[in-house]
Each structure stands twice: as C-alpha cells, then as structure tokens.
Structure 1
C-alpha cells in the first residue's frame, strides 16, 4: 500500500476517530484504525465494538492499493503537528510497519494486519428515512444535557427517538431525562416513516453531534432491531442501541402550571450564572423569590458565602421556589428567542419551561427542597 493525502483532510478524519476509540482497550486492535486505500479513495474506520465510524477521503493519490491498521492516537498526534496543507506520504514498508513521511519528518509506525480488525456487514435497508442535518442536530442538542449518568438505569442513558403525529402532521420526536429534568423536542417530517422507537446511547450522540456540526445536507437514517446507521456525505456512523423501555414521559409533563413567569433570556442567563458563582457545589440551589413583576435570585453556601440579584420580570403573584442552577443554565443556553417562559404551579411542583421562538421544544425541571 502506498498513497499520498492532504494533512488537513487526514487530521479532520482522524479527529473524529478519537471520539470513538477507547483510550484503554483490552484488545490492542481496538486502539487502531483500519486504513484502506482502494478505488481512488482513502477509507478510515474506527470502532469500539458498540460504535463504528467510517470516513472516506477522495482527495488522495493512490500508487498501490492496500490496507492495514495502526494506532489511532499516535497517528493523530503526529498528523496534527505536521504543517497545515502539507502532503503526507504513506507506505507499507514491512510485515508490521507503516511509514509516514512529510517534509523533513519520517516515522515508522507499528501496524497490525487488517484481517484482525473487527468489521461487520449488515443489511440496514429495512427501515430508512431522510432527515436534514440541522434538524437532527437540533434534536440532539436540545436533549443531550438531560441524559442520565446513572448506569443502574441504562434505559435513561440515551435519547429516546420515536415518530409522533399531531393534526395529521408527522414528527420525529426526541426525549431525554435523568429524573430531575427532562427535555423534549420534535421536528417535522415530510412523510410518515417506518421507524420503530429507539434509545440512542450517549457516546453515539456526542459523536454524531461532532459530525453534524461540520455538515450541512441530508442524513440517511436506517435501523435494524439492535443497531442504527447514519449516513452523511462521506461518513457513516453505526451504533448499537440501548436495550430497554423508555418511561412514559408524556405523563410527566405538567398540565396545571398556570403561573407564567416571563424573563429576558440573556439577563436571566447572566444573572443565574453570576449568583451561582458563590456555589462550591453546582448542585446548590438558586432560590427564586417572586413577587409581582420582580424576581430575586439568591444562592447561599455556608462554606463560601451568598449572592443575590434582582430582575424585572412579568409575573402576577408571590412564590418561592428553588432549582439546580446547572439545570437552568443548560436549558437556557439552548433557547433561541429573546425571552424564557417558566410555567409554575407551587413551591413543590415541577416547572415547565418553554421557548417562545421554538414551540416544538419543552423542558421540565424538578424543584429543590428548601
């Protein structure tokens, strides 16, 4: 195998691979990437057995076709330090060596035969649909911060995707919760799709986000019983799905929250962030002391001090309630409008948060005691 590739193209591809490969794998081959130079393209594959990432680079020169594997982290570290725009030449020089040469740099990297790399070839054409990359990224970003880190409840450690209908309109709806907060978002589909409900794992979500942030176009989504595949222009991501039943999140959405609190979004974000500065533990609550058209935000920590700030708001009554400041900041940072709307019932009931600029996304936050 012998080929030449642009440094920037290769660095970008290898950068994606770092999010897939486990840093401490018990199987040496899983620390490697599969490199295939064939059919005028360079194909790079990374996997941890649960997640498979494939990226193709077409802007290359192939002198001899072939394939091998080598350390993903070492190769990435070398390539990112080579001057931007340089050409990098690769050649298999022996049974277990891959030579990398660029400018005045020369490296001989250990390699493992490509036949040992675990790859699967499954038919994903049973259920497939097309979604715009920006719509898919929106669903992921609106929900990912609400994913649970509790490994004992694995069914909450991902985003739940399913198809819903409202007034004969079809939507792809996403939901995530850690039992303290919940995010729900949906995007309109052109047609009804054949798509069974799934729970997408956290690692796949963050890898998919990194791909979608650099891509503007269509994404083909196809799934079989235990796996899902996302196809972009020159990348493929295949992930195992979480085996479990997502709870009935609809019944958790508050229905009787009639007390509407309306606040300037930027002012709210900045104020919560400032008063939370005295908190040594981000789990400390920020207290809302609400009177007519006024909100006093306060945080009190016995070890560090206290902070207080007032905001002019739209609100009609008196109410005291406390929330985890981190939860509020996570939600507020995802809103698109000028204001944030928080619907309240009483001191002990969950709050419903809405974005006036996005009627297709809602958030629920449990209050803190005290």
Structure 2
C-alpha cells in the first residue's frame, strides 16, 4: 500500500475516526484505524456500537490495507507542523509516513482481525438537512440517563408523527421533547439510539452543510453524507409512555425573560447546598417571584421580574436540571407551569411550542 495525501485531509479524517475507536481488551484491533486503499482512500473505525468510514482525496500508487493504533496516529498528526503532502507506505508490517522533514515508522495491527462495519441492506430512508436532525438530538440528549441499567433511559427516542419527527429523552427526573418539521417524511418505526452514540452523531453531523441521507433498519441507523458513512446500533426496548407524565392542567403560571431567569439561577447556584437545590418562591398574590438558595456559606435571594397567575407556591428543584432547559429554547421569554407541591414543572418557550421540558421537584 502506498498513498500520498494532504496532511490536513488525513488529520481531520483520523481525528474523526479516532474518537470512535474501541477499548476492548479482548480485541485490541478496535483501538486501530483501518486505512483501506482500493482505488479510493477510506479510513474506518468502530467500537462495535458505532462505525464510521471517511473517504479522503489523494494519489493511490499501490492498493492495500493497514490498521494503525488511532491514538498514536492522531497525536502524531496533530503535532506535525507542515500542511503539505504526506506519503504513507506499508512495508514489512510497518507503516512509513514521510514528508517535508518528516520520517515516521509505526508498527501495525493485524488488518485481517478488523471487524466489518455493517452496511445498510434495506430499510426506509429520508434525505434531510443535517442541521435539522442534529438540532433534534442536541435539544434533548442531555436529559437522557448516564446509567446503563435501563438502556431505554440512556437513549434518545425518535419517532415520526405526521410531518414531524419527535425526539425525546428522560432520566425519570426530567424529560425533553423536541418536534422537528420535515418535508416528505417516511413512516419509520420508532427507534432508541444510545446517548453515547448520539454525542458522536452530533459531533460528526453538526458541521455538515447540506443534506444527509438517514437509513432506518431494525438494528441500526445509518447516515450517509458527503464522503462519509456513519452507523449506530439501536436499542431493542420499550420507551416509557412519557406523555402520561406531562401535566395537562396547571394551578400556577410564570412568564419571564429567559436571560433574567438564567442570571438569577446562576447567582443562586453559588450558594446552593450539596444537593444543588434552589427554591422557586412564586407568590401571584404579592406579584413576586424569587429564586433563593442557602448553604453553610450564606444565603441568596434573587427577585425576578415576571408575569404571575394562579396559586402561591414554594417548590425546590435541582439547579442543574433547571439550567439545562434553556439552551434548546429560542424564545426570549419562557413560561413555567406548576400543578402543585411534589408535582412536575413544565418549561416552554413562549413563542416556540416545538420544545417542552418537564422537571420533577426535589423531595428535600
């Protein structure tokens, strides 16, 4: 195998593939990046949950394949200062990388042990703007659970509803739902993508301009864009009937500027307790809303300008769960809807009904 390519192109492809390499001690080849040269130059990696292939431009002098440990190759390329061509040549189970003032020799991993990355065979597909799909994922993924005890809760749930695709995630303490309008949507089966895979899907797609083709299959979801292919396994499980936990009627309503609430929350967090608890004191009868916190260092009471309606209530929440609600909300004003003590609060943008956030109060 012998190729010549731009260092910049190689470095970018290696950086993207290296993130998806595996750490399976029983299969050391998963730490590697496969460089497969067969008329074209394609870099691949997989951790058996995710797989990626990236084609780069370059001159092919001799076809072949080689697997190099991804972390080492990525570190070397990031420290090479030249932006000119690099030549990669496989000789006697070693990869030689040469260029201007550069001569590197790397040992290889057995390429015959590198697992095949499953390609889609059949399934329903849609072609959409990449930023629409990543917007859906980015709006909800932080609400997924970090624990894998219940895989369906450490996933993002995606399903079609008419001309919309709905993205949902919950860890049972908070829930996010984002509705994205797509043209010419196909009626695919609901899927669960592991949240750790969602993070990598976002990273790979968020800088992509133009369309991405998404292929839905029974056990995987695949993305084809530019000269890249990305595939993720999906979870076999049942997502909770989440609509049952979203309150329909409310006793107290708050409307305030988003930035005012965020600033008050951040101020209160400085003196929040070890549970990150902040207290919403909502008194429509006095026309006052305060957000307060207290720990052994002191106390903070921050008054927020707001429109208030309904019953008076004091209720505590985890600061982190509340602050996570605002990034997906594009509206300048937000609404907070409460049903009573011990009941969830619903947060939405006043002028944007595409996102809803439900958060449970703290028991303490």
Alignment correspondent of 2:211:
218
Inter-CA distance 37–205: structure 2 relative to 1 (3 Å threshold) = same
Q: Does 1:287 align with 2:284?
A: no
**Equivalent of 1:232 in 208, 218, 225:** 225
Inter-CA distance 209–84: structure 2 relative to 1 (3 Å threshold) = farther
The 2-side partners of 1:26 and 1:74 are apart by 20
Do the aligned residues in 1 keep the contact of 2:5 with 2:59 (CA within 8 Å)?
A: yes
Q: Does 1:128 align with 2:154?
A: no
Do the aligned residues in 1 keep the contact of 2:29 with 2:110 (CA within 8 Å)?
A: no
* Cα root mean square deviation, aligned: 1.7
The structural deviation recorded for 1:189 is: 2.5
- Deviations along 1:156-191, one digit per CA (max 9) or x if unpaired, are 1110111113xxxx2111111000000001112223
SS state at 1:267 partner: helix
Do the aligned residues in 2 keep the contact of 1:54 with 1:235 (CA within 8 Å)?
A: yes
**Equivalent of 1:118 in 80, 104, 115:** 115
Do the aligned residues in 2 keep the contact of 1:124 with 1:222 (CA within 8 Å)?
A: no
The structural deviation recorded for 1:122 is: 4.1
Inter-CA distance 300–335: structure 2 relative to 1 (3 Å threshold) = same
**Equivalent of 2:321 in 299, 320, 327:** 327
**Equivalent of 1:313 in 306, 315, 319:** 306
Do the aligned residues in 2 keep the contact of 1:91 with 1:98 (CA within 8 Å)?
A: yes
- Deviations along 1:311-346, one digit per CA (max 9) or x if unpaired, are 111113522111110011111122111111111121
Inter-CA distance 224–35: structure 2 relative to 1 (3 Å threshold) = same
Structure 1: gaps (5+ residues): none
Structure 2: gaps (5+ residues): none
Do the aligned residues in 1 keep the contact of 2:139 with 2:327 (CA within 8 Å)?
A: no
Inter-CA distance 57–358: structure 2 relative to 1 (3 Å threshold) = farther
SS state at 2:254 partner: strand
The structural deviation recorded for 1:21 is: 1.5
**Equivalent of 1:88 in 86, 92, 98:** 86
Aligned residues: 361
Superposition TM-score, scaled by structure 1 size: 0.93
Which 10-residue stretch deviates more, 198-207 or 307-316? 307-316
The structural deviation recorded for 1:7 is: 2.0
The structural deviation recorded for 1:72 is: 0.4
The 2-side partners of 1:151 and 1:301 are apart by 32
- Deviations along 1:90-145, one digit per CA (max 9) or x if unpaired, are 11121x21011232122111112322210144443321112221110111011100
Inter-CA distance 21–256: structure 2 relative to 1 (3 Å threshold) = same
The structural deviation recorded for 1:204 is: 1.5
Do the aligned residues in 2 keep the contact of 1:148 with 1:157 (CA within 8 Å)?
A: yes
The structural deviation recorded for 1:22 is: 2.8
Alignment correspondent of 2:20:
20
Kindly report which structure 2 residues correspond to 1:67-86, keeping only aligned pairs within 5 A, or say none.
67-83=65-81, 85-86=83-84
The structural deviation recorded for 1:192 is: 4.4
Inter-CA distance 352–324: structure 2 relative to 1 (3 Å threshold) = same
The 1-side partners of 2:110 and 2:173 are apart by 48
The 1-side partners of 2:270 and 2:23 are apart by 33
**Equivalent of 2:139 in 113, 137, 142:** 142
The structural deviation recorded for 1:280 is: 6.0
Do the aligned residues in 1 keep the contact of 2:158 with 2:168 (CA within 8 Å)?
A: yes
Which 10-residue stretch deviates more, 224-233 or 117-126? 117-126
Alignment correspondent of 1:263:
256
The 1-side partners of 2:49 and 2:130 are apart by 23
Superposition TM-score, scaled by structure 2 size: 0.94
